[in-house]
Structures are given as structure tokens and as C-alpha cells.
Structure 1
């Protein structure tokens, strides 16, 4: 235009400010990252937009089309959910013949929560928009925010009021309110309860005893005043040997259990009518020593099962990953050599197989260890008492990550095979050459 703002004539200034008031509804989606959502739906709702008074434009009553998406539709209580509010079609378009410049508008807004959790989520977008031609349709824009789940159940999310701030000649705001709140529900998340960690624990006064002997059981962190069942276990099955005690005001307990079942391998304690990992403690190992005398004319036969070790072996010590073209910034992929874990200890302890990697060194350059990710897999040999679990897909890095594991149990053990799909994110224009890093696996 070539005219400084303080010299614009009154009629010209009115034309510019009118343009600014209407332009406050234009922002692009380019700066906000839309979160993935499974069932988010576009919804229409009446909107009342009020341009700044200096613009000289009457309020705009129209229809806004919007969508709410989330990064996690099935959170637990205590989780943080990221929300993206996308205005697909604003309530107005550019009413003037003058084009609007890029990157002058910043959106903010609210997302309304309903159902199991009420309130609102503040969302905001970046100061970024493409130029808008005269009389052109305003493009879509997105705003993001987050909330912490405080209650289990279905939580509905509806578009709320939004505001567009413009920074062009003047700093102006155009608030747009939902005419008949709340707007229709666009997304629903179903939150699960997240009970506190179970810290109940028991200790035994002895690790073994003769059939019919009483073993002392003490415990902590039970519900104060709760009735607690003490019970013998034979492997994963409860025996007929039970007793009850009452936890004191501090959640502590003390009692005794008479153990008659010669197959007993452990003792547990639990609240409620049946054992559960959420309200129980143990099992703590216990052995019944059969010291009954041998009847006359009989012979007692005894054998021993010797405990073994926890070990691992791997199918190879080198992995050649796929080449990447210079400048492409593509991933280099490969497969981890299979790792066999043998757990022949025969006790209650599980195991964990973790890995960490060094930086990838090359010709005068390096690729950071944090660029290596994997997708683990694990299989269990038939007949194994334990079942292995594959680690989560994600970054390996120098801090390390879990490849596979098996949980603690009454009796653990078996043979397992772990492997992983590897992917190295090679930055664009990494200098040509060979790069190598060392992935170290640790079994504990």
C-alpha cells in the first residue's frame, strides 16, 4: 500500500478495520497437529460472532462445522488426554474484495466436557494462516489442549466458544460463541478406573514345616479393619487349609495358618471372598516336610529336582540394515537376530530382557542412538509354566527399552524366543558412508 498506518484517511481506515474484524475468522490448520481419533464426527452448531466495534461490521450469525479428536479414546483415571478442536468451516467468509495476508491470526477456544466428567478444556492454535483472497472462503483451523481424566465412565466432548486474535495494523479479537450451548457431541472417550497400586505384603515365620504345623503370617498395607483370609496354595490352586484374621487400624495383620496339605508350595493372604491380585499378597514360598515314619515292610523313595539357571543365546551378532539414499531422510530397517531365553530356575521369579544402543558412528559424523526404534515380538515354547510378553514398540536409544519379559508367579520357567523389527531414522543429508552402533542385551 505504501502508506503508513498513522496517515490512513478516516474512510480508508474504516475500510481496513472492517476488513480486520471479518478477517479474524481465518486461520489454517497447518500449525496444529491433529490427534488421531477413532470415531470423531463433524457437527454443525449455530454461532454468534462479534467483530471488534472499530470494524463497523454487524455481528455474524451463521453455522460452524467443527470436529473434536483425541489422542487416546480409552484412557484410565489419571491419564492426560490431548484434545484437538478443528473448525472445519467457520461461520463466515471474507466479505471484502481485499486479500488477507498470511500469518496474522491466532485462534483460542474451549472444548466442553460432559458425562462422567464435566468442565472445559482450553485449546489454542498457532499464529499461522495462508493468505485469503477477497471474497474467499476462510480455511479450516485447529486448536489443541489437554485435560486429566478424573472419573471413570463415558466423557463427551463438544465444541465450545472460540476466538480469533488478529495482529495486522491493530491487535483485534473476534469472539464466536455457541448460540445454544452445549454444541452437539463430536467425540466420546471411555475412561477406565485406575485403582491404586497394591502394596499389600506378607511374611512367614518359617519357610517349611511338618504336616499339621502352624506357620505364623504377618502382613502390612491391608485395608484397616478388613477380614483377611490366609490360605495355602498348591501351585496356582488354593488348598483346603485356610484361616481368617482382622487387619488392625494401621492395616497390619498377624495370625497363623495350620498347613495339612502335603502339596502346599506357598501361602497367600487376601481380602474378599476369593483370591485376587488387586486385594491379595503372596504367594510366599512354603514347603511341607513329610517326616512321617515309614511303615514296617515299606521303603521310602526320594528324588530331587535340581534348579537350573537363567540364560540367553542369540542366533547371530551382526545385523545388516537396509541402505538409505542420500538426502531422503528415510528409515533404515532390519531384523534383530532371534534371542532364546531359557529359565530353568524353577522358582517364583520372572525375568526381563532389555536392550540399549550406542550412537551410530560413520565417516566424520554420527546418527544419534535415539533414532533407533524397534517393534518387539516374543513366543513361548509349548509346556512352559510362564508366558513371555513382548516389550512396547518405540525408541531404544542409549537409555534402553524392554525387548521381552515374563512376570513373577508361583512357579515360573520355560523357553522363549524374542526378536524385533528394527528401524533407524536416518536424517536427510547424512553424509554417505557406513554407520555402525552396538546394541547390548541384558537379561535379569
Structure 2
């Protein structure tokens, strides 16, 4: 795909005059002419170039390699002139570093006419490979074969013993879902109460910090722990900071989305002061006259103080169904595969001032033979509605790409009074590339509420 700006395609800058083009190397080669030609082996240097379409792929991506031969010691194997468009090249590219193996490259049947006894012309071959390991990967040119189809089908085979590295790329690993989570023994307590905190999904033996949260900031409530061999921690956290609205746990020196949990809702409930007994008053020298008509003395009215406590709940979500199937697209054409996520219901019964955010992340789609469609090809258009009586509104996320880095599906902002029940939905579209191999492609859409 050409990116056009101001009427011209943007391309890599060409090498300055006298400079070696990027990826160009010279290496010794022995080319064996076909037996029918009756020619001796041709020894000499091959000038080759390797380039890749993506120098920074992720594991699972497909990389296209271009192997160009600018000059070869191989000569025309036919006794006379060789006409145009009868030469077909094939070759190999060696992988090294983080990933080994070979890449097969093939070129089109295309050449200028070649005089009898002259060197065969420059050729260009391409091939692809799937990145299977993260790290630095090297590419070096290997042997190639020049097939001529004129009068006879003849193969000139050129062997390469040790060509230098011509291209490099650095592969990054796929992002992985964060398995860390915390569960609380209680969703509320009075100042100074202890709450049991259970954390899971941590790296075994890692130091874990359990801390209170107020919105995006940490409070003074904090306790340290060490994950056991199963990656679990269980601690008692004393909550004294009245600003605490949630509890998180994380590895490392500070919380991060990659090494920390989302907050589990917790509310600090102020104790209700005991009711004071009604004061009795006696006036001095007062005389009480009996009520002759009733036959007894009048009684003072009794009063009781009535108190009710509204206990806060938690922040939770439920989804309708655990799978969705997108529409099919025809092979060759590719295009948009539409669908809709399972409706998500968010219930916020914390009764505090902290809002919430629902984020979605999607992995790459994996199909037959490990072929992948990038997760960034999935986009959505979110919707969100608050139930009647909810004290806070619900804001849908922006329409656009979901991808492995994630996007907001819906949220509510911090406010003096937050809560309610909310219905979240989204139409999704997967942009399937043309000529994607037929088959079913599956990904995982992860929704995180915090």
C-alpha cells in the first residue's frame, strides 16, 4: 500500500551515489550449469540484497522477504541468444538469531534478452514466513536456481556456502492477558476494620503490595505480601483511611495495568453514634395534681430514636453469552465481517463517588496453519444506557479500533453520587484481508471492569 502525501508516494530514501544500498552484500558463489549445456562451473561473487516489509513485527505476524540478485556469475546455458521472459528464479533465505530455518523465495518469469555466453540478468524473488519467537532475527542470502525455459527446460544451480547477514528484524512478543485479580472478604467496614484480601495470578515468589485506592490514587492503607508457588497471596488489610473506595494488589514498586489488578470496591462506613437517652426534668416545688376524671395521674410521652443503615455493595458485571460469531466473508474479496458483542450489564452498588471504566482488548485471530488476522483489524461502535433512577450517566466509548492495546467500551465519571445499573453493547466489524486462507479464525475479547 502506498501512502500518498502532496501527490507523491512516500518511499525509503535511495542510497547516495557511491554508497552501498541497504541490505546489499557480496558473497562467493559456485554456479553449476545444466549438464546439457556442457559448460564448466562458474565461480564468482554474487551481489545480492535482502529486505523485509516489517522490521519490527510481533510474534505471529507474517513478514515478506525480498531477495534481489543484482549480479550473478551464472551464464546463459543456451548455445544461442536467450529471448525475453523465459527465466524463472527460485531461492532460499536463511534465518538466524531468535528464529532459525529457511524461507523459500520465488520470482516471476521476467527477463531482458540475453546474448549467447553472457551473464544471466538481475532477478527479484519474494517469500514470506511467520514470526514464531521474540527477539533479534537475522536474514542471510542462500543458494538460488535460475530456470530457463527455451528450447529445453534447464536449471542453473548456484550454491552459497557462507553469505553474510543482509537484513535484520526485531520481533516483539504478543501482549498477554493480565491474570491478576483480588477478592475481598467484605465490601465495607468501619474505619480501622481489617478486611481479608485474596490475590491470584501473580508470579510465584514475587513481592506483592496490597493497597487502598481512592479513584486513581493510592491511600495510606497498605500491606506487603509474597506470592506462593501458585501465585496467590492472602493478607489482612487494615483500612483506616476514610478516602479508600477500593483495594488493589500489584508486583513491583508501583501499580501498572500490566502487573497490577483492577480495584475491588470497598466502602468505609462511618459508625452511627449511639442515641442519647432523653433527659428527665423535675421542676422544684412543683405539685402534681391527680386527674380526678381519669382516676390516675397523666403520663409523659415516650420517644425512641430509630436508625437504619444502608450498606454499600460492590461493582460487578455480567455478560449475555460467552461467544459471538461474526458474519462470513468470501475468499479473495475479504472485507467486513459484522457482529455484536454479548450485552454486558454493569451494576454499581458501591454508593460512593468513584466512577468506573469498562475496557476491551482483543487478541489476534488465529486460523488454519497458524495464519493470523491482526487484532487491530477489529473495530467497534459502543452504546451504553443507564437504568431509570440511576444517579449517574453512562458514557459509551469512542467508535474505532479495539486491538490488543485495548479501547474503552463504556464508563462513568467520578461524581458526588455514583451508581446504578447500566446496559452496555457494541456492534463490531472485522476487516478481513483479501485472499485470507479459508477457514475459521478465532480470537479472545477480554473485558475488564475497574
Q: 2:409 aligns with which of 398, 406, 420?
A: 406
Where in structure 2 are the equivalents of 1:188-203 lying within 5 Å? 188-194=168-174, 196-203=176-183
Match for residue 336 of structure 2? none
Where in structure 2 are the equivalents of 1:37-186 lying within 5 Å? 41-52=22-33, 54=35, 55-58=37-40, 59-70=42-53, 72-76=54-58, 78-91=59-72, 92=74, 94=76, 97-100=80-83, 102=85, 105-114=88-97, 117=98, 119-125=100-106, 128-130=108-110, 132-135=112-115, 138-152=121-135, 154-165=136-147, 169-170=152-153, 172-177=155-160, 181-183=163-165, 185=166
Match for residue 236 of structure 1? 216
TM (normalized to structure 1)? 0.56
Q: Map Cα deviations across residues 250-284 of structure 1 (whole Å, 9 max, x no partner).
A: 22222221112222221111122221222222311
Q: 1:350 aligns with which of 353, 358, 371?
A: 358
State the aligned residue count.
Answer: 330
8 Å CA contact 1:236–1:410 kept in 2: the answer is no
- Cα distance in 1, alignment partners of residues 92 and 170 from structure 2: 23
TM (normalized to structure 2)? 0.55
Unpaired segments of 5 or more residues in structure 1? 1-35, 304-342, 355-373, 394-402, 426-443
8 Å CA contact 2:147–2:153 kept in 1: the answer is no
Structure ID, larger Rg: 2
Moved more, 212-221 or 188-197: 188-197
CA shift, 1:229, in A, is 1.7
- Cα distance in 2, alignment partners of residues 162 and 124 from structure 1: 9
Match for residue 270 of structure 1? 250
- Cα distance in 1, alignment partners of residues 359 and 179 from structure 2: 21
Unpaired segments of 5 or more residues in structure 2? 1-9, 14-20, 277-306, 311-344, 349-354, 363-376, 383-393, 420-425, 434-447
- Cα distance in 2, alignment partners of residues 258 and 285 from structure 1: 15
- Cα distance in 1, alignment partners of residues 265 and 100 from structure 2: 50
CA shift, 1:52, in A, is 3.3
Q: Map Cα deviations across residues 7-34 of structure 1 (whole Å, 9 max, x no partner).
A: xxxxxxxxxxxxxxxxxxxxxxxxxxxx
CA shift, 1:162, in A, is 2.4
8 Å CA contact 1:389–1:404 kept in 2: the answer is no
- Cα distance in 1, alignment partners of residues 124 and 248 from structure 2: 58
Question: For 1:280, what is the secondary structure of its paired residue?
Answer: coil
Q: 2:190 aligns with which of 207, 210, 219?
A: 210
Quote the RMSD (CA, aligned, Å).
5.5
8 Å CA contact 1:110–1:122 kept in 2: the answer is yes
CA shift, 1:110, in A, is 1.6
8 Å CA contact 2:210–2:225 kept in 1: the answer is yes
Q: Map Cα deviations across residues 114-171 of structure 1 (whole Å, 9 max, x no partner).
A: 5xx2634322215x4136423276242213131424233x434333332334566356
Question: For 1:282, what is the secondary structure of its paired residue?
Answer: coil
Q: Map Cα deviations across residues 330-386 of structure 1 (whole Å, 9 max, x no partner).
A: xxxxxxxxxxxxx998753426799xxxxxxxxxxxxxxxxxxx997999xxxx999
Question: For 2:263, what is the secondary structure of its paired residue?
Answer: strand
C-alpha change, 1:112 and 1:223, in structure 2 (3 Å) is closer
- Cα distance in 1, alignment partners of residues 141 and 236 from structure 2: 60
